[in-house]
């Protein structure tokens, strides 16, 4: 089938996306309490590249930022898919997505960012608890594509609550589906030998008790064999999709940044030259020192510690959590 | 949809006269259409910014795993084991890229900044102490990367003179098997053996980029089999490219004294100046991709497995994208040029190159009032690189 290569923007400098707002192209229930969202760019452009294990931040009303693993197909550059579990005990992020956000609506996102990379291995054991299946889905696809010897142990409260079972069905025996109401808790000792196998990487994502149990079981293993991801909702300050003020200390200029505008665009419009390249928060060229204020990091580059340090930001995508940012420009 | 017939050309982009002056061909290709069939090699050429940018970023449609030169690895045996970065596609490309991107990332390079700025000052002092007339290609553009980069990798001192000829051959080998490739072939076994030796863990000093790659293998982020090939990527792509990038910016300033004055007035322009020179000269002129399936580019059918030749240098001077593209101008925002590529294969060492350039230009701007050409600069021909043999200059140092 023939497809046309998409054309990038050819508008005059500075092009590139402002804060990325994506449109909900589809919203599908995939299990009890779980919906899958398909997100696309309103203008149909390519979305930033990602790798299995990546998540995006959804910037939700009321200053909430929530992370969701990308669980779609990276060979489709025009859509992201996430799976969202309704969390009744949460602060309303998942309820907003379930109850308010509709097909055709838009949502601001950050990232994608990967703290849970799939590393090369001859063998993999994937362990998912509930919605923790989401980052593992694209990993499984790739492990299979590479001809690795892999198994998935997938637990959940009941079969009806376990998302994406039909997508896993074609893998047959490689997947063990273990609903708790039918089989009880996952039998970790049967799956995780007390002594590590150097040729097997274990990837686990799920609720904290599962992660704790897996980590205890693998406590004596050499580092690097067990890889886990924990989503701890971190509210480091209200995420904003509102205007804020940027002061360029060295240039002695202060200027507003509008919601639809990137800091890079605002700064360039004020005549201050900042080199950039990808304009997607991927390449790192536009790194800028932060002297005061709290950046709202939307890039794919910084790890958690670097984000927390708050001393630099990538102004092509990142914004401000504070009313005012002071930059070393 | 009806589309115009696919334009074709029998031009040879790798002929010596074209390598020496590629601009007329670039303009002809851009004007002929978004895609031009080059009959001599049966490849599809892209020379407009829009289409080069789209091709670089669309790794799903245009793969690198079948080689980024003319040779098609689907049918031909590569001259060396393929690169795990440049000549690989997802998913295999992911882990080596992630490891190297972290090691060469802007934050990781902060620890080198001070030392490299001091090294640049020392080099400039040494060169000026020898006189005001010198060859900027060898004394600065070659000397500075060869001074700082192998140390940063952690290479032993002996044999570093192998790096430039090895890189030169690797970049020639992306082109057709012409006289430039033949010229390099006799030394290939010897150079490849030396490079292979340097990729071993024992050869690489603690703390350097090379040792960090091996440490990533110890953590399991890449395999131990992959580590030497990732080190090899540094040695292949990390020297010649920066040498010719630095030569480009030095040549630009020798040819544009007014722009040198601007840099001296505002040394913070050093980073912009380097990227503007990379746009203006495009040290890496071309790369190929291979159609991953039957595709259409601008309505033209590109059959599965065909080679697509992207003219980075032509895209970087496409008047559809750049105002007065042939002018080297520090007031321009060169952001978005494709001199480092774009997308998942974008030059992983770009921050290293920028830091080297910033260090050298800052040191020069501090000591030198004016740079002027001294006789005609001489090109070094390479199938992929826009390179310099010699850039004779006279400088006017500041009275101190």
> pLDDT per residue over A37-88, tens digit each?
999 999 999 999 999 999 999 988 877 888 999 999 999 999 999 999 999 8
> Does residue B291 carry a pLDDT above 60?
yes
Q: Which two tokens stand for residue A163?
A: 């998302």
Is 3.10.20.30 the CATH number for A244-327?
Answer: yes
Give the distance from residue B12's alpha carbon to the nearest chain A alpha carbon, in angstroms: 26
CB-based contact, A29 to chain B, within 8 Å: no
Interchain contact, A8 vs B50, CB within 8 Å: yes
What pLDDT, on the 0 to 100 scale, is given for residue A14?
37
Report the CATH architecture of A21-114.
Beta Barrel (2.40)
What pLDDT, on the 0 to 100 scale, is given for residue A4?
40
Mean pLDDT of A135-149: 97
Query: For tokens 């080198």, what's the residue?
Result: B112
What pLDDT, on the 0 to 100 scale, is given for residue A292?
96
Tell whether B275 is covered by a domain. yes
Interchain contact, A49 vs B226, CB within 8 Å: no
Provide the pLDDT confidence category of residue A271 given band limits of 50, 70 and 90: confident
CB-based contact, A115 to chain B, within 8 Å: no
What pLDDT, on the 0 to 100 scale, is given for residue A191?
95
CB-based contact, A145 to chain B, within 8 Å: yes
How many inter-chain contacts (A to B, CB under 8 Å) are there? 130
Mean pLDDT of B350-377: 97
Count other C-beta atoms under 10 Å from residue A21's C-beta. 17
Tell whether B383 is covered by a domain. yes
User: Chain B contacts of A16, Cβ < 8 Å?
Assistant: 336
Residues of chain A with CATH 3.10.20.30: 244-327
What pLDDT, on the 0 to 100 scale, is given for residue A3?
38
Report the candidate in B391, B388, B392, B394 with the shortest Cα–Cα distance to residue B371.
B394
Tell whether B1 is covered by a domain. no
What pLDDT, on the 0 to 100 scale, is given for residue A5?
39
Report the candidate in A202, A204, A191 with the shortest Cα–Cα distance to residue A128.
A204
Tell whether B2 is covered by a domain. no
Phi and psi at residue A226, in whole multiples of 5°? -100, 125
In B130-248, at which residue ranges do the beta strands (DSSP E only) sit?
133-135
Interchain contact, B53 vs A279, CB within 8 Å: no
What single DSSP character describes residue B91? T
Tell whether B256 is covered by a domain. yes
Residues of chain A with CATH 2.40.30.10: 21-114
Q: Say how many domains are in chain B.
A: 1
User: Chain B contacts of A285, Cβ < 8 Å?
Assistant: 106, 335, 350-351, 354
Summarize pLDDT for B63-115 with one digit per residue, the tens: 999 999 999 999 999 999 999 999 999 999 999 999 999 999 988 999 999 99
User: Chain A contacts of B292, Cβ < 8 Å?
Assistant: none
HSE-CB for B386 with a 13 A CA cutoff: 29
Q: Which two tokens stand for residue B196?
A: 């292979």
Interchain contact, A5 vs B275, CB within 8 Å: no
CATH of domain A123-229: 3.40.50.80
Mean pLDDT of A81-96: 91
Give dist(CA A322, CA B116) in Å, integer.
Answer: 36
Which one of A6, A13, A278 has the shortest CB-CB distance to B54? A6
User: Chain B contacts of A273, Cβ < 8 Å?
Assistant: 269, 272, 333
The CATH number for B75's domain is 1.10.630.10
Give dist(CA A163, CA A33) in Å, integer.
Answer: 9
Tell whether B3 is covered by a domain. no
What pLDDT, on the 0 to 100 scale, is given for residue A305?
84
What pLDDT, on the 0 to 100 scale, is given for residue A8?
36
User: Chain A contacts of B54, Cβ < 8 Å?
Assistant: 5-8
Interchain contact, A146 vs B92, CB within 8 Å: yes
What pLDDT, on the 0 to 100 scale, is given for residue A15?
41
Give the distance from residue B289's alpha carbon to the nearest chain A alpha carbon, in angstroms: 14
Interchain contact, A118 vs B90, CB within 8 Å: no
Q: Is A169 exposed, middle or buried (0-12, 13-18, 19+ CB in 10 A)?
A: exposed
Tell whether B346 is covered by a domain. yes
Tell whether B168 is covered by a domain. yes
What pLDDT, on the 0 to 100 scale, is given for residue A260?
81
Interchain contact, A6 vs B336, CB within 8 Å: no
Mean pLDDT of B345-355: 97
User: CA B182 → CA B175, B176, B186, B237, distances in Å?
Assistant: 11, 10, 8, 20
CB-based contact, A309 to chain B, within 8 Å: no
Element (H, E) at B390: strand B386-390
Interchain contact, B54 vs A278, CB within 8 Å: no
Interchain contact, B346 vs A223, CB within 8 Å: no
Mean pLDDT of B348-374: 97
Nearest CA in chain A to B321: A10
Report the candidate in A280, A235, A221 with the shortest Cα–Cα distance to residue A41.
A280
What pLDDT, on the 0 to 100 scale, is given for residue A280?
87
Q: Determine the structural domain holding residue B25 and report its residue range.
A: 8-397
Provide the pLDDT confidence category of residue A300 given band limits of 50, 70 and 90: confident
């Amino acid at each position: 089938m023939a497809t046309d290569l998409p054309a990038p923007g050819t508008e005059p400098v500075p092009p590139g996306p402002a804060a990325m707002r994506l449109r909900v192209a589809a919203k599908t229930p995939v299990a009890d309490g779980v919906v899958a969202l398909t997100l696309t760019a309103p203008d149909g452009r390519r979305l930033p590249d990602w790798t299995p294990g990546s998540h995006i931040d959804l910037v939700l009303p009321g200053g909430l930022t929530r992370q969701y693993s990308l669980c779609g197909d990276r060979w489709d550059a025009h859509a992201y898919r996430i799976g969202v579990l309704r969390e009744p005990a949460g602060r309303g992020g998942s309820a907003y997505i379930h109850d308010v956000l509709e097909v055709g609506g838009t949502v601001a996102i950050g990232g994608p960012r990967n703290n849970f990379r799939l590393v090369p291995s001859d063998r993999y054991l994937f362990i998912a608890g509930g919605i923790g299946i989401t980052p593992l889905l694209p990993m499984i696809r790739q492990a299979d594509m590479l001809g690795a010897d892999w198994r998935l142990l997938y637990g959940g409260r009941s079969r009806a609550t376990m998302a994406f079972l039909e997508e896993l069905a074609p893998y047959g025996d490689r997947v063990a589906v273990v609903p708790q109401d039918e089989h009880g808790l996952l039998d970790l000792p049967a799956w995780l030998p007390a002594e590590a196998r150097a040729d097997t990487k274990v990837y686990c994502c799920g609720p904290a008790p599962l992660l704790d149990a897996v980590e205890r079981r693998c406590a004596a293993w050499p580092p690097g064999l067990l890889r886990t991801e924990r989503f701890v909702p971190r509210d480091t300050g209200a995420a904003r999709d509102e205007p804020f003020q940027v002061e360029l200390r060295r240039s002695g200029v202060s200027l507003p940044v509008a919601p639809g505008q990137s800091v890079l665009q605002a700064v360039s419009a004020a005549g201050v030259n900042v080199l950039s390249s990808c304009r997607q928060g991927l390449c790192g060229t536009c790194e800028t020192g932060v002297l005061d204020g709290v950046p709202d990091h939307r890039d794919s580059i910084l790890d958690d510690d670097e984000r927390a340090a708050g001393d630099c930001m990538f102004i092509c995508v990142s914004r401000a959590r504070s009313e005012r940012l002071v930059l070393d420009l | 949809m009806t589309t115009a017939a696919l334009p074709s050309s029998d031009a040879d982009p790798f002929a010596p006269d074209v390598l020496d002056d590629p601009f007329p061909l670039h303009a002809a290709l851009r004007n002929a259409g978004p895609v031009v069939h080059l009959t001599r090699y049966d490849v599809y050429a892209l020379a407009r910014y829009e289409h080069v940018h789209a091709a670089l970023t669309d790794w799903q449609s245009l793969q690198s795993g079948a080689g980024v030169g003319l040779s098609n690895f689907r049918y031909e045996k590569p001259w060396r084991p393929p690169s795990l970065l440049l000549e690989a596609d997802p998913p295999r490309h992911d882990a080596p890229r992630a490891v190297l991107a972290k090691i060469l990332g802007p934050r990781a390079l902060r620890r080198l900044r001070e030392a490299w700025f001091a090294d640049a000052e020392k080099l400039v002092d040494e060169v000026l102490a020898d006189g005001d007339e010198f060859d900027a290609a060898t004394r600065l553009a070659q000397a500075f990367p060869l001074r700082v980069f192998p140390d940063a990798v952690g290479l032993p001192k002996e044999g570093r003179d192998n790096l430039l000829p090895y890189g030169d051959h690797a970049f020639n080998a992306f082109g057709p098997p012409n006289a430039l490739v033949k010229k390099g072939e006799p030394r290939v076994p010897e150079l490849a053996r030396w490079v292979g030796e340097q990729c071993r863990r024992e050869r690489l000093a603690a703390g350097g980029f090379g040792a960090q790659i091996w440490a990533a293998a110890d953590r399991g982020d890449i395999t131990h089999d992959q580590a030497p090939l990732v080190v090899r990527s540094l040695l292949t792509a990390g020297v010649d490219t920066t040498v010719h990038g630095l030569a480009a910016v030095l040549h630009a300033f020798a040819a544009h004294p007014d722009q040198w004055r601007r840099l001296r007035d505002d040394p913070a322009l050093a980073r912009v100046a380097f990227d503007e020179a990379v746009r203006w000269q495009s040290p890496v002129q071309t790369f190929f991709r291979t159609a991953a399936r039957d595709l259409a580019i601008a309505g033209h059918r590109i059959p599965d497995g065909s080679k697509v030749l992207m003219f980075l240098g032509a895209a970087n001077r496409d008047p559809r994208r750049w105002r007065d593209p042939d002018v080297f101008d520090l007031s321009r925002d060169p952001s978005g040029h494709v001199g480092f590529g774009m997308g998942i294969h974008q030059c992983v060492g770009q921050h290293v190159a920028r830091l080297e350039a910033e260090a050298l230009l800052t040191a020069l701007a501090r000591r030198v009032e004016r740079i002027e050409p001294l006789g005609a600069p001489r090109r070094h021909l390479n199938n992929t690189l826009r390179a310099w043999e010699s850039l004779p200059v006279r400088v006017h140092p500041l009275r101190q």
